[in-house]
Chains A and B, each alone.
Chain A
Amino acid sequence: MTRLSTTPTGTPTGTLTGPPAGTPAGTAAIRLIEVTKRFPGTGADAVGRGGGLRLDVAKGSIVALLGPSGCGKTTTLRMINRMIEPTSGRIEIEGRDVTRSPVAELRRGIGYVIQQVGLFPHHTVARNIAAVPSALGWDKDRIATRVRELADLVGLEPSLLDRYPDELSGGQQQRVGVARALAADPPVLLMDEPFGAVDPVVRGRLQDELLGLQSRVQKTIVLVTHDLDEAIKLADRIALLNVGGVLEQYASPDDLLRAPANEFVERFVGGDRSIRRLTLATVADLPFAQGPVVAVETATADDARSAMAAHRSDWFGLTADGVFLGWVPGAALDGAGSLADLPRTVPAAQVAATSTLRAAMEIIMTSDTSVAVVDDGGRFGGVVTLERIRAALAGA
Chain B
Amino acid sequence: MILAQATNPIIRWEYLRDEWDKVRTALIQHIELTLLAVALGLVVASVLAAIALRYRWTANPITTFTAFVYTIPSVALFGLLVPYTGVSRTTAVIPLVGYTLLILVTSILTGFRSVPPAVRDAAEGMGLSPARRVFTVELPLAVPYIITGIRVATVTTVGLVTVAAIVGEGGLGRLILDGLRRTFWTPMTVGASLSIILALVLDLSLWGLGRALTPWTRRGGPQRAATR
In the assembly, what is the distance between CA of A81 and CA of B216, in Å? 30
Partner of A116, one of B118, B127, B129: B118
Query: Is B219 a contact partner of A122 (Cβ separation < 8 A)?
Result: no
Residue on B with the closest CB to A169? B222
Residue on A with the closest CB to B218? A164
Residue on A with the closest CB to B139? A122
In the assembly, what is the distance between CA of A110 and CA of B125, in Å? 8
A residues 235-291 near B (Cβ < 8 Å) are none
Residue on A with the closest CB to B141? A122
B residues 105-129 near A (Cβ < 8 Å) are 116-129
Asked whether any CB of chain A lies closer than 8 Å to the CB of B205, the reply is no
For A105, the chain B residues whose CB sits under 8 A away are 127
Number of interface residues of A (CB under 8 A): 34
For B140, the chain A residues whose CB sits under 8 A away are 122
For A118, the chain B residues whose CB sits under 8 A away are 116, 118-123
Query: Is B126 a contact partner of A131 (Cβ separation < 8 A)?
Result: yes
In the assembly, what is the distance between CA of A148 and CA of B141, in Å? 26
In the assembly, what is the distance between CA of A267 and CA of B222, in Å? 42
For A122, the chain B residues whose CB sits under 8 A away are 140-141, 214, 216
A residues 74-131 near B (Cβ < 8 Å) are 81, 83, 103-110, 112, 114-123, 131
- Assuming the A-B contacts A167-B225, A168-B222, are A112 and B122 also in contact, with contact meaning beta carbons closer than 8 angstroms in the complex? yes
Query: Is B221 a contact partner of A107 (Cβ separation < 8 A)?
Result: no
Please give the distance in Å from B107's CB to the nearest CB on chain A.
17
Please give the distance in Å from B52's CB to the nearest CB on chain A.
23
Asked whether any CB of chain A lies closer than 8 Å to the CB of B44, the reply is no
Query: Is B118 a contact partner of A114 (Cβ separation < 8 A)?
Result: yes
Query: Is A108 a contact partner of B127 (Cβ separation < 8 A)?
Result: yes
- Assuming the A-B contacts A104-B129, A108-B127, are A163 and B219 also in contact, with contact meaning beta carbons closer than 8 angstroms in the complex? yes
Main secondary structure of the interface of B (DSSP, over half): helix
In the assembly, what is the distance between CA of A141 and CA of B177, in Å? 63
Query: Is A116 a contact partner of B116 (Cβ separation < 8 A)?
Result: yes
For B141, the chain A residues whose CB sits under 8 A away are 120-122
Asked whether any CB of chain B lies closer than 8 Å to the CB of A227, the reply is no
For A121, the chain B residues whose CB sits under 8 A away are 116, 119, 141, 216
Partner of A166, one of B119, B125, B219: B219
Query: Is A167 a contact partner of B121 (Cβ separation < 8 A)?
Result: no
Query: Is A164 a contact partner of B216 (Cβ separation < 8 A)?
Result: yes
A residues 144-183 near B (Cβ < 8 Å) are 163-164, 166-169, 177, 180-181
Number of interface residues of B (CB under 8 A): 25
Query: Is A81 a contact partner of B219 (Cβ separation < 8 A)?
Result: no
Asked whether any CB of chain B lies closer than 8 Å to the CB of A47, the reply is no
Asked whether any CB of chain A lies closer than 8 Å to the CB of B132, the reply is yes
In the assembly, what is the distance between CA of A263 and CA of B6, in Å? 100
Residue on B with the closest CB to A106? B127
Query: Is B216 a contact partner of A107 (Cβ separation < 8 A)?
Result: no
Query: Is B127 a contact partner of A120 (Cβ separation < 8 A)?
Result: no
For A132, the chain B residues whose CB sits under 8 A away are 126-127
For B118, the chain A residues whose CB sits under 8 A away are 114-118
Query: Is A166 a contact partner of B132 (Cβ separation < 8 A)?
Result: no
For B214, the chain A residues whose CB sits under 8 A away are 122
Asked whether any CB of chain B lies closer than 8 Å to the CB of A25, the reply is no
In the assembly, what is the distance between CA of A135 and CA of B125, in Å? 13
* Interface hub of A81, A114, A135 (most chain B Cβ within 10 A): A135
Please give the distance in Å from B214's CB to the nearest CB on chain A.
7
For B222, the chain A residues whose CB sits under 8 A away are 166-169
Query: Is B216 a contact partner of A104 (Cβ separation < 8 A)?
Result: no
For A110, the chain B residues whose CB sits under 8 A away are 127
In the assembly, what is the distance between CA of A269 and CA of B117, in Å? 33
Please give the distance in Å from B70's CB to the nearest CB on chain A.
31
Partner of B126, one of A107, A167, A168: A107
For A168, the chain B residues whose CB sits under 8 A away are 222
Residue on A with the closest CB to B124? A83
Asked whether any CB of chain A lies closer than 8 Å to the CB of B208, the reply is no
26 CB contacts below 8 A, A to B, read A83-B121, A83-B125, A104-B127, A104-B128, A104-B129, A105-B127, A108-B126, A110-B127, A112-B126, A114-B118, A115-B118, A116-B118, A118-B116, A118-B122, A120-B119, A120-B122, A121-B116, A121-B119, A131-B128, A132-B126, A135-B126, A135-B129, A167-B220, A167-B222, A180-B126, A190-B125
Interface residues, chain B, with chain A CB atoms under 8 Å away: 116-129, 132, 137, 140-141, 214, 216, 219-222, 225
Top 6 nearest A-B pairs by Cβ distance?
Answer: A118-B122, A107-B127, A116-B118, A118-B118, A108-B127, A112-B125
